[in-house]
Structure 1
Amino acid sequence: MLQIASPALLDHYLGISRLLAGQPDFRSAIRAVAAEVAHIVPHDHLDVCVVMVDGKYHTAYETGMETAWGGLSAAPVSNSPIRTLLWGDVDFLLTDDATTDERFHFEGAFKRPIVEQSLKSRLHVPMKVQGDIIAALSCSSQTPGLYTMEDVAKARAIADLLSPYFFALRAAEQAQRSAIVEAEARAREEGLRQGALKLTEALEQERQRIGMDLHDQTLADLTRMARRVERLSKTGDITAEALESLSRGLQHCMQDLRQIIEEAKPSILQLFGLAQALENHLDRSIRESGLPIQWTLTDDSEGALETLEQTVSIALFRIAQEAINNAVRHAQATSIIVHLRVEDSRIAIDICDDGEGLKGPEGRIGGGIDNMRTRARLISARFAVGPGQCNVGTRVSVSLTLPRRSGPTEGERGAMEARQ
């Protein structure tokens, strides 16, 4: 039962109930009732400290003085100066001078606002729903010795009025947060599904490309040489010149096969690592193009590339390979710069050129950029493509969080075995 001292106080209690109606969030609710609360319990600072559903964290919504408490989005209950109240160890907290009261000054306590704002008189009561503490109502004043047990009773009555509304707000906020998390999870799942489909299509295209290369190059060469051997065997005209021609043809055929295999499976990556594989691909691509392109590759990864799983390394290699190929074949660039680095516990690869830049929203080759983006998504990496420095050329960037070390990775084991 509420112990109402006078009709005037009753009117203020009813005013609190009326002002709560329709308030959409914690902050607007506490600010709406602050004036009515001040008529019942005078204060310089008023806040409601809401305990999150997990019980481990809390956040404060304040009015009157603005303090560092109001800037907390989530702080451990264990660091709150009123943790004993939030844990249910005490029924209330009442002090004449919180700046010197040892209950508010333990190791790790977030007590700075008490000292900075000189919040001496402090009164705290729990806000409960079905016996569980969901929050705490706190009244503070710079005047020492202001509050009495009579104020504690009044504050409890106010807390009883606020508790159901704040409980509903907390439940609504939790439901909204859960809905957002679920929506993000579904979006990620759908993104991965679409990414897997795109990558499957890309792999099928790659398989068809390899098949066409084998048919158009290797098989055609072998067929031509087989017919030549057949003619020589029939005519018996097997001369040194004819054998030398056949030998050159076989060497050319083997070279084509090596090129097809190298593009299908980056063996240098497995043997010597990502940086060496990219440098080799960059050098070979530019050399074979015959274009006067200057290039540099800088490895500032500090050995972090060696911590990546082989599947991740291959995905990063394919992304960088596509970016390099685009720059060499389509950009008409005179310079390509590849930079491998570690920043904020993330490994990053940047490929920059000074060429024509992106010709449309999907870049120079839409399918290639889609494939790069898909590969990045499937290894949970960030991917970005846009103008280079001073809006010249194109910059392709991919980065991902470094894994924690726990012994040799799959890639390192494969590399060590290959070197042995």
Structure 2
Amino acid sequence: MLDQARRSLFDHYLGISRLLAGQLDFNSIIRSVASEIMQIIPHEHMDVCIKQLDDKFHIAYESGMESEWSKHPPALLTGSPIRSLLSGEVDFLLSGNASADPRFHFKGAFSSPILTLGLQSRVHVPLKVHGDIIGALSCSSRQRDLYTMQDVVDARAVADLLAPYFYAIRASEQAKRSAIEEAEANAREEGLRLGALRLTQELEAERQRIGMDLHDQTLADITRLTRRIERLSHVPDLSGEMLEPVVRSLHTCMHDLRQIIEEAKPSILQLFGLVQAIETYLDRSIRDSGTTIEWAIVDETQGVVDALEETVVIALFRIVQEAVNNAIRHAQADKITVRLSIDDGPVVIEISDDGIGMPVGEHHTGRGVDNMKTRARLISASFEIGRGMQAGTRIRVTLPYEKELVDGRSDRRG
């Protein structure tokens, strides 16, 4: 009779080994072997928790009744009800009344599923590979005092079968994550390289545009003025009326030159900061457009943006500049709002309008949008563009900022 029982037990162990073959993830392994383990250790709930390689977190995988343990993201080992087992302080845990067992219930313990599922009897053994604990196998029942030391022995035998497979799967998943992270890092680096190249090309095009503006407009005006002044120098009895057109032309020329310089590098940005520069640009751009668009700028950053590096501030200003130009030219908007805020650390700039907006699902591309995306990427900021909450278009730039921040608000309207 004893030999028959041992033979039956051996068959179940053999069945577990056979079912493990070809399984490629933790959940598949648990589901495939659950019925065989049930024949060895009767249970209503079984779970396997696997320690992460940092030895600080673990992930649970369940069979039978589901609980918050498996739905939870990687959890700290310090909050595990079986932390003493996972840390190697004890070699096993055996309880006949888990709902009242203080070993499972301590300050910070994630033990609520024990009470929710009404688990009473519990047996826990470590999963070991080369002497290192990589996780734990747990079986539980709603019946009190169900398990004995023999169940501990049987659970250890099952754990010894499972541990090498779990170890291999953990190593495989870690290698996969490392490969994905490396690929993403390479993609980001390549994206930045291409972005920097596109931005360099745009800067060169901007330089050429400024050169043409100076040559075709300002320098041509100065040349005409020089010739007129030369002619006037030979006129006897030169009067103020004769000089008035020259003075007007000089003022126009100076205004145009200032405009070109301002567009190349806005001096107000250096003198008064980002918020004031945006406010001035909004006011001037809308007035120059001849429209009656209402505008608002809301600053909730408590001056944080003034502490940013100059290159970052210039990039943010250029993004706002492009977004405002697009809203004025294409959105048919009645109002444009620029909001600067602090969202639990990052600095966030939103440019929104109530115009015609963009079709849902449209892939937003174009030279202006690409430039904004590139500028955001080069300062390690995220860039989003889409429809506003009710209508129009919303552009959101999120810039990581680690300094501790305090919310504040100022509201300026035009």
* CA deviation profile, 1:195-245 (whole Å, cap 9, x unmatched): 111111111111111111211222112111111122222344532223333
Equivalent position of 2:409 in the other structure: none
Equivalent position of 2:68 in the other structure: 68
Equivalent position of 1:278 in the other structure: 278
Does the 8 Å CA contact 2:347/2:398 hold for their aligned counterparts? yes
Distance 1:36-1:46 versus aligned 2 partners, 3 A rule: same
Equivalent position of 2:312 in the other structure: 312
Does the 8 Å CA contact 2:340/2:349 hold for their aligned counterparts? yes
| Residue 151 of structure 2 is aligned to residue 151 of structure 1 | yes
Equivalent position of 2:226 in the other structure: 226
| Residue 195 of structure 2 is aligned to residue 170 of structure 1 | no
Superposed counterparts of 1:100-119, under 5 Å: 100-119=100-119
Equivalent position of 2:8 in the other structure: 8
Superposed counterparts of 1:3-402, under 5 Å: 6-236=6-236, 238-355=238-355, 357=357, 366-388=366-388, 390-391=390-391, 393-402=392-401
Name the SS of the counterpart of 2:99 in structure 1: coil
Does the 8 Å CA contact 2:345/2:403 hold for their aligned counterparts? no
Give me the whole-angstrom Cα distance separating, in 2, the residues matched to 1:287 and 1:189.
41
1:319 offset after TM fit, Å? Answer: 0.8
1:304 offset after TM fit, Å? Answer: 4.0
| Residue 403 of structure 2 is aligned to residue 404 of structure 1 | yes
Name the SS of the counterpart of 1:143 in structure 2: coil
Does the 8 Å CA contact 1:50/1:59 hold for their aligned counterparts? yes
Give me the whole-angstrom Cα distance separating, in 2, the residues matched to 1:99 and 1:357.
57
* CA deviation profile, 1:12-34 (whole Å, cap 9, x unmatched): 11111111112221112112111
Does the 8 Å CA contact 2:278/2:320 hold for their aligned counterparts? yes
Name the SS of the counterpart of 2:234 in structure 1: helix
* CA deviation profile, 1:157-211 (whole Å, cap 9, x unmatched): 1111111111111111111111111111111111111111111111111111111
Distance 1:22-1:278 versus aligned 2 partners, 3 A rule: same
1:320 offset after TM fit, Å? Answer: 1.0
AA aligned to 2:159 is A
AA aligned to 1:64 is G
Give me the whole-angstrom Cα distance separating, in 1, the residues matched to 2:139 and 2:326.
65
AA aligned to 2:262 is E
Identity in percent: 61
Name the SS of the counterpart of 2:100 in structure 1: coil
Matched positions, count: 402
1:358 offset after TM fit, Å? Answer: 5.1
Q: Which moved more, 1:151-160 or 1:353-362?
A: 353-362
Give me the whole-angstrom Cα distance separating, in 2, the residues matched to 1:237 and 1:356.
62
Q: Which moved more, 1:228-237 or 1:281-290?
A: 228-237
Q: Which moved more, 1:6-15 or 1:23-32?
A: 23-32
AA aligned to 1:32 is S
1:332 offset after TM fit, Å? Answer: 4.5
- The CA RMSD measured in Å over matched residues stands at 2.5
Q: Which runs of 5+ in 2 are unaligned?
A: 406-414
1:255 offset after TM fit, Å? Answer: 1.5
Q: Which runs of 5+ in 1 are unaligned?
A: 407-420
After TM superposition, the score normalised by the length of structure 1 is 0.88
Give me the whole-angstrom Cα distance separating, in 2, the residues matched to 1:241 and 1:362.
59
Give me the whole-angstrom Cα distance separating, in 2, the residues matched to 1:76 and 1:293.
53
Does the 8 Å CA contact 2:289/2:328 hold for their aligned counterparts? yes
Give me the whole-angstrom Cα distance separating, in 2, the residues matched to 1:288 and 1:112.
64
Distance 1:277-1:115 versus aligned 2 partners, 3 A rule: same
